[in-house]
Amino acid sequence: MAERLGVLISGRGSNLQALIDAIAEGQLEARIAVVISNRPNAGGLERAAAAGIETVVIDHKLFARRDDFDVAVASALKERGVTLVCLAGFMRLVGARLLEAFPNAILNIHPSLLPAFPGVDAQRQALQHGVKVSGATVHLVTGELDGGPIVLQASVPVREDDTVETLSARILIAEHRLYPEAVRLVLERGWRVEGRRFVLGPDRAMPV
């Protein structure tokens, strides 16, 4: 039976779309059981609805405490039999209650080559630092912001005349390829976490 994914979004949902497309094209054997947004007007909700996926809005502003929001999200995911959670432009810190509900089963995609430039505005940080290469990272989510074990990365060049917009667009193309690939790798099992490393078993090779 196909694994059940839960995708958490806050915005336009282009990475959500990449996952929807990869599943539709048979590149990823999974099913998106639910898309949850903390923002009622997130564009990604329409993408999910257009693909016939159930959507749920859990507005963080309606919760006095972070824990209560996390518990509500965890419950909505569990009720739908979700086994792997994918953050896709989800602009909230994942708190302890959600992490405990899905140990080593929450993925995030970040628009830099971590550990460089965690947090917001990663592309702007990269430009300001003057790096010549940047990219995207998919990692397991832990309590450390953008600091969990790295599953896969993709690099892109940074050009002299790049703006935040042009660099973001180049990274986004890499993101859309990388996220389905990383989800596939995680769903195939046979991996473990050693310290801060995501390690594949002896008979498995990292996709290049």
Quote the least distance from Cβ 32 to ligand GRF, whole Å: 14
Per-residue interface string for the shown chain with ligand GRF, residues 37-76, x marking contact by CB under 6 A: -------x--------------------------------
Applying CB under 6 A, among 45, 70, 98, 110 the residue interacting with ligand GRF is 110
Whether 129 is catalytic is no
* 167-175 contact pairs (CB < 8 A, 24+): 167/123, 167/126, 167/127, 167/134, 168/111, 168/123, 171/111, 171/112, 171/123, 171/134, 171/135, 171/136, 172/14, 172/111, 174/135, 174/136, 175/14, 175/15, 175/18, 175/109, 175/111, 175/136
Question: Strand pairing of 106-110 and 150-157?
Answer: unpaired
Give the H/E segment covering residue 36: strand 30-37
Applying CB under 6 A, among 6, 7, 8, 14 the residue interacting with ligand GRF is 14
Report the distance separating Cα 129 and Cα 70, nearest Å.
34
- Which of 110, 129, 139, 176 is the catalytic position? 110
Q: Does 177 bind ligand GRF (CB under 6 A)?
A: no
Applying CB under 6 A, among 12, 92, 97, 177 the residue interacting with ligand GRF is 12
Q: Does 124 bind ligand GRF (CB under 6 A)?
A: no
Dihedral angle computed from the Cα positions of residues 163, 168, 170 and 175, in that order, rounded to the nearest 10 degrees: 170
Report the distance separating Cα 62 and Cα 38, nearest Å.
10
Per-residue interface string for the shown chain with ligand GRF, residues 77-96, x marking contact by CB under 6 A: -----------xx-------
> Which residue number, 42 or 185, has a Cβ lying nearer to ligand GRF?
42
Applying CB under 6 A, among 33, 175, 178, 180 the residue interacting with ligand GRF is 175
Applying CB under 6 A, among 5, 45, 74, 109 the residue interacting with ligand GRF is 109
Report the distance separating Cα 178 and Cα 16, nearest Å.
12
Whose structure tokens read 């971590």?
A: 114
Quote the least distance from Cβ 183 to ligand GRF, whole Å: 14
Residues interacting with ligand GRF, by CB under 6 A?
Answer: 11-15, 44, 88-89, 109-111, 172, 175
* Residues identified as active-site: 110
